[in-house]
């Protein structure tokens, strides 16, 4: 049964009595009969089996795009013409491309399975006032669960009681520190990551224990929201959008040409069947048959090159998006920073550096018996001591209300209490302070300056704790009275320092046209400080609370203007990504937690790291073997090289094919025979495409790498028209030479134009592959060799046994002399046209 959602109440604002009443439960938990009834109402505490598309349907869906449909039509035409070779080649290309697409869609579902596997567990549940281990799938709203060290939270729950309960929520919030959870109501405006009385499915208990009331299960949990977003079809990326628009452009042009050519041939009273087959051959000739193969070869080479640079590509299409990326959103901890909490400094109440403060802090951290958080570990590393050298006589453990911990030790024969804790609660128990001269003074004289020191360091992005001490008598009881009339001695400041070389990396990303935006759950002061330290110059900060009140249209503008997003809740990350995409950007996102999965899923390029949780790695397109933005730089360059080489083929195929087909259409109007036989058109297309199989190894000019590029269908259309018509102009020159200069018959005309068409189309690649003069931009060795071999083969065709099969005949030697002049003049004209074209496009 489909579960019914519980009321979306703000449970963090409730008392335990109110939430018991709201959920319909009590301190003894539910009865078994009530639990069974609720299981029928709300459904299992699981995400159910997602609506999976069958394997066959998923595979067939890969063929539903314009280019593939045209190619399948071309294959059918080849078989119909009793020429299965081209048909087999086309079918193999389409099959390879479709298998790749099938694999990519199938792999997307793996993230869901990884997500589900994380919550298959048992839970200590109280029913009928009896505690027992139950399968977590049988839990329902109203169940009471007992939590202990190592437990994974099985559902979203409200904390009823706790004893020094700390949870690791890093996968959700990105927060390095374990979070203390305590009962009690909170203000309405409390952010999700700050709701200390709520526990979220998928987080786990680091220390302490607790009792909690489940209020949401399955798909209605925060974890379930991530699941639902991952279960959505991945948004269309910029590259996929470009391919789709390109396919539609070809489809429109192809349909128009077919109708025009078919009409002309019928009006000239040529055989209808031959005219129809000829029109279909024209349609096939206009189609870049090897585009899927060229793309796959380019992507495979790019993936191999990137793997050598510690960038693993999971989804090949993401390489093109990687090169087009102009915005990179990154988390903070471990990516921009080292991800390791360190002691920055210790200062006295006046803000002057004082190592004595760190010494007392280290005694407290090393001798406490409770859980050592990352700040304790940092203190111990900065000032190592051996606990055996100091005699400890007692401890007042940390709790949420006091927010401090006190240990009692003997120092120089004197019994001393050392208290460490949050600054405000600690200052409340101090009536004196130790000044810079080592003299004890009334704290009332300096409280404002002490607060100023705290605020100054906080605004610089440092976390702060306070230290106070007090000598006590040998017989004084160990109770909370010790924490009074203490002497405040100073602060310890902590930092998560920026990664070495990160400023150079951020600058290099900027040089490549990529704007870095930081998204973090930390407060705005820490976020601003880290942004400044890594080289993000923008001072504008948008907080999660501010983001809640912004509409979608306004967010598109704000997201573009803002480079630092602070205090961001997990579900807001995806919203930022989608806003940037709607603003026209190709967006990359790097993250490694459960809370990053939906943002990774929605980005054009989802980037994770090898050490990330499985869900994040499955949702990502690219996985870094090192959590370092520097390794992205080479990856971005490879992506742009791959994209550039793909566009080279598109430019060549569309302009040459369009020119040839326009020439065929014109020639068919005044010739009494077909200017090229259907199988000759297919062979022309195949031979001009084959050298392009090596385009992946071609050299790429620097101007293709220094800035991101996107699919620009209008630009491609203009390029196709300019260079297509130029190609067609020289085709007509060839027609004139053959008809009036050489008096060619039908076979000679078809042979001569076939040779000129393939030779000119092959050589023009060397011109249009670069914006520079062609001889100043060195082509790849494989591309040059393949081009020359193709030309040599074309010249030999009239003298080979297959000439008769394709309807070719021999030509007088004079033709080849004229052909040389036409080709040279064509290349020169193309260079001039290219210069004018790019000058106008600036």
591-648 per-position pLDDT tens digit: 877 778 778 888 888 888 877 766 677 778 888 887 777 788 888 888 888 888 888 8
What pLDDT score does 430 carry?
96
Helices (H), 118-237: 170-173, 222-231
What pLDDT score does 94 carry?
63
Q: Which two tokens stand for residue 277?
A: 């087959």
Asked if the model's pLDDT at residue 816 lies above 50, the reply is yes
Q: Which two tokens stand for residue 221?
A: 């949990």
Within 10 A of 652 (CB to CB), how many other CB atoms are there? 26
What is the C-alpha end-to-end distance of the chain, expressed in Å? 61
Q: Which two tokens stand for residue 190?
A: 């409390």
Percent of the chain with pLDDT over 90: 30
Q: Which residues of 662-674 are buried (b: 16+ CB within 10 A; e: fewer)?
A: bbbbbbbeebeeb
Secondary structure of residue 674 in the 3-state scheme: coil
For 354-398, write each residue's pLDDT tens digit: 999 999 999 999 998 876 778 888 999 999 987 777 888 899 987
Quote the CA–CA distance of 69 and 356 in Å, as a whole number. Answer: 77
Within 10 A of 447 (CB to CB), how many other CB atoms are there? 15
Within 10 A of 582 (CB to CB), how many other CB atoms are there? 13
Q: Tell me the mean pLDDT in the region 132-144.
A: 91
Query: What domains can be seen in the chain, in order of their start residue?
Result: 1-233 (2.70.150.10), 313-339+499-634 (3.40.50.1000), 342-495 (3.40.1110.10)
> Largest Cα–Cα distance in the chain?
124
Quote the CA–CA distance of 185 and 197 in Å, as a whole number. Answer: 7
Quote the CA–CA distance of 524 and 398 in Å, as a whole number. Answer: 27
Asked if the model's pLDDT at residue 82 lies above 80, the reply is no
What number of CA atoms fall less than 13 Å from residue 359's CA on the CB side?
A: 8
113 φ/ψ angles, rounded to the nearest 5 degrees: -65, -40
Listed in order, strand segments (DSSP E) in 564-662 are 564-566, 587-590, 605-609, 622-624
pLDDT grade for 433, boundaries at 50, 70 and 90: very high
Check if 689 is active-site.
Answer: no
Quote the CA–CA distance of 842 and 838 in Å, as a whole number. Answer: 6
Burial degree of 194 (CB within 10 A; 0-12, 13-18, 19+): middle
Mean pLDDT, the chain, integer: 82
How long a stretch of residues is the chain? 842
pLDDT grade for 32, boundaries at 50, 70 and 90: very high
For 262-275, write each residue's pLDDT tens digit: 777 777 776 665 66
Asked if the model's pLDDT at residue 164 lies above 60, the reply is yes
Per the model's pLDDT, the better-predicted residue between 119 and 784 turns out to be 784
Quote the CA–CA distance of 339 and 628 in Å, as a whole number. Answer: 11
CA 30 from centre of chain: 44
Q: Which residues, 6+ apart, have CB-to-CB distance to 25 below 8 Å?
A: 142, 143, 144, 213
What pLDDT score does 7 carry?
43
| Residue pointed to by tokens 């083929």 | 649
Contact call for residues 757 and 684 (beta carbons, < 8 A): yes
Asked if the model's pLDDT at residue 50 lies above 70, the reply is no
What number of CA atoms fall less than 13 Å from residue 78's CA on the CB side?
A: 24
Burial degree of 146 (CB within 10 A; 0-12, 13-18, 19+): middle
What pLDDT score does 90 carry?
61
Contact call for residues 433 and 349 (beta carbons, < 8 A): yes
Secondary structure of residue 105 in the 3-state scheme: helix
Q: Which residues of 97-129 are buried (b: 16+ CB within 10 A; e: fewer)?
A: bbebbbebbeebbebbebbbebbeebbbbbbee
pLDDT grade for 51, boundaries at 50, 70 and 90: very low
Per the model's pLDDT, the better-predicted residue between 314 and 213 turns out to be 213
Quote the CA–CA distance of 431 and 418 in Å, as a whole number. Answer: 15
Contact call for residues 186 and 176 (beta carbons, < 8 A): no
Q: Tell me the mean pLDDT in the region 21-39.
A: 92
Q: Which helix (H) or strand (E) holds 671?
A: none
Q: Tell me the mean pLDDT in the region 163-179.
A: 71
Quote the CA–CA distance of 826 and 819 in Å, as a whole number. Answer: 10
What pLDDT score does 113 carry?
45
Q: How does DSSP classify residue 740?
A: I
Quote the CA–CA distance of 349 and 701 in Å, as a whole number. Answer: 60
Q: What is the pTM of this model?
A: 0.69
Quote the CA–CA distance of 721 and 733 in Å, as a whole number. Answer: 18
Quote the CA–CA distance of 297 and 693 in Å, as a whole number. Answer: 7
Beta pairing, strands 587-590 & 605-609: parallel
Q: Which of 331, 592, 621, 731 is catalytic?
A: 331
């Amino acid at each position: 049964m489909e579960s019914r959602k519980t009321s979306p109440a703000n449970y963090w604002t409730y008392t335990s009595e109110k939430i018991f009443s709201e959920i319909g439960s009590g301190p003894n938990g539910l009865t078994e009969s009530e639990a069974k009834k609720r299981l029928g109402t709300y459904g299992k505490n699981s995400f159910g089996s997602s609506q999976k598309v069958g394997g066959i349907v998923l595979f067939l869906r890969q063929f539903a795009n314009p280019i593939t449909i045209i190619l399948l039509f071309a294959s059918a035409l080849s078989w119909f013409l009793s020429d299965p070779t081209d048909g087999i080649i086309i079918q193999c290309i389409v099959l390879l491309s479709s298998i790749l697409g099938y694999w990519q869609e199938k792999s997307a579902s793996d993230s869901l399975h990884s997500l589900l596997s994380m919550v298959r567990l048992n839970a200590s549940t109280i029913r009928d006032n009896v505690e027992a281990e139950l399968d977590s799938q049988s839990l329902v709203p109203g169940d009471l669960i007992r939590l202990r060290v190592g437990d994974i939270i099985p559902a979203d729950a409200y904390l009823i009681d706790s004893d020094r309960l700390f949870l690791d929520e890093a996968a959700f919030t990105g927060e390095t520190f374990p979070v203390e959870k305590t009962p009690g109501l909170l203000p309405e405006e409390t952010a999700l990551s700050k709701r200390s009385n709520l526990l979220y499915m998928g987080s786990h208990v680091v220390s302490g224990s607790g009792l909690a009331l489940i209020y949401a299960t399955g798909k209605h949990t925060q974890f379930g929201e991530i699941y639902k977003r991952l279960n959505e079809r991945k948004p269309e990326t910029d590259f996929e959008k470009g391919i789709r628009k390109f396919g539609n452009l070809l489809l429109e042009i192809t349909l128009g040409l077919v109708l025009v050519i078919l009409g002309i041939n019928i009006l000239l009273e040529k055989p209808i069947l031959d005219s129809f087959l000829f029109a279909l051959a024209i349609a096939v000739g206009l189609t870049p048959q090897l585009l899927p193969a060229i793309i796959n070869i380019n992507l495979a080479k790019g993936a191999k090159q990137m793997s050598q640079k510690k960038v693993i590509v999971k989804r090949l299409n993401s390489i093109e998006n990687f090169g087009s990326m102009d915005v990179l959103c990154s988390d903070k901890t471990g990516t921009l920073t080292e991800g390791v909490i360190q002691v920055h400094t210790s200062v006295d109440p006046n803000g002057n550096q004082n190592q004595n403060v760190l010494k007392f802090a280290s005694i407290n951290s090393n001798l406490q018996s409770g859980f050592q958080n990352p700040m304790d570990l940092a203190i111990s590393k900065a000032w190592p001591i051996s606990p055996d050298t100091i005699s400890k006589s007692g401890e007042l453990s940390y709790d949420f209300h006091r927010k401090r911990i006190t240990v009692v030790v003997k120092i120089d024969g004197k019994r001393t209490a050392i208290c460490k804790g949050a600054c405000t609660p600690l200052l409340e128990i101090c009536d004196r302070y130790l000044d810079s001269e080592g003299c004890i003074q009334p704290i009332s004289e300096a409280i404002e300056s002490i607060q100023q020191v705290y605020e100054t360091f906080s605004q610089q992005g440092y976390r702060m704790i306070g230290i106070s001490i007090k000598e006590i008598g040998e017989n004084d009881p160990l109770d909370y009275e010790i924490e009074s009339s203490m002497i405040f001695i100073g602060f310890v400041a902590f930092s998560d320092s920026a990664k070495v070389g990160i400023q150079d990396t951020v600058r290099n990303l900027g040089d490549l046209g990529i704007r870095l935006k930081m998204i973090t759950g930390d407060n705005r002061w820490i976020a601003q400080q880290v942004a400044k330290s890594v080289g993000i110059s923008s001072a504008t900060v948008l907080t999660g609370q501010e983001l809640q009140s912004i509409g979608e249209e306004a967010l598109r503008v704000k997201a573009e203007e803002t480079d630092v997003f602070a205090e961001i809740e997990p579900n807001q990350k995806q919203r930022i990504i989608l806003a940037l995409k709607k603003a026209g950007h190709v967006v990359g996102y790097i993250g490694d937690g459960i809370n990053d999965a939906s943002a990774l899923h929605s980005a054009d390029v989802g980037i994770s790291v090898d050490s990330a949780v499985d869900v994040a790695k499955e949702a990502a397109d690219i996985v870094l073997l090192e959590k370092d933005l520097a390794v992205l730089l080479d990856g971005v360059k490879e992506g742009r090289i791959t994209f550039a080489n793909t566009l080279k083929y598109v430019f060549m195929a569309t302009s040459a094919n369009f020119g040839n087909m326009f020439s065929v259409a014109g020639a068919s109007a005044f010739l009494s025979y077909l200017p090229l036989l259907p199988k000759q058109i297919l062979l022309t297309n195949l031979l001009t495409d084959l050298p392009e199989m090596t385009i992946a190894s071609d050299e790429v000019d620097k101007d293709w790498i220094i800035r991101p590029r996107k699919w620009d269908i209008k630009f491609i259309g203009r390029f196709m028209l300019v260079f297509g018509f130029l190609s067609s102009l020289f085709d007509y020159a060839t027609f004139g030479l053959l008809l009036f200069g050489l008096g060619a018959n039908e076979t000679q005309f078809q042979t001569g134009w076939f040779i000129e068409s393939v030779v000119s189309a092959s050589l023009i690649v060397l011109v249009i592959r670069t914006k520079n003069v062609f001889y100043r931009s060195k082509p790849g060795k494989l591309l040059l060799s393949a081009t020359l071999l193709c030309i040599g083969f074309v010249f030999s065709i009239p003298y080979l046994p297959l000439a008769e099969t394709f309807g070719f005949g021999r030509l007088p030697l004079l033709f080849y002399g004229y052909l040389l002049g036409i080709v040279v003049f064509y290349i020169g004209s193309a260079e001039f046209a290219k210069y004018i074209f790019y000058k106008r496009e600036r």
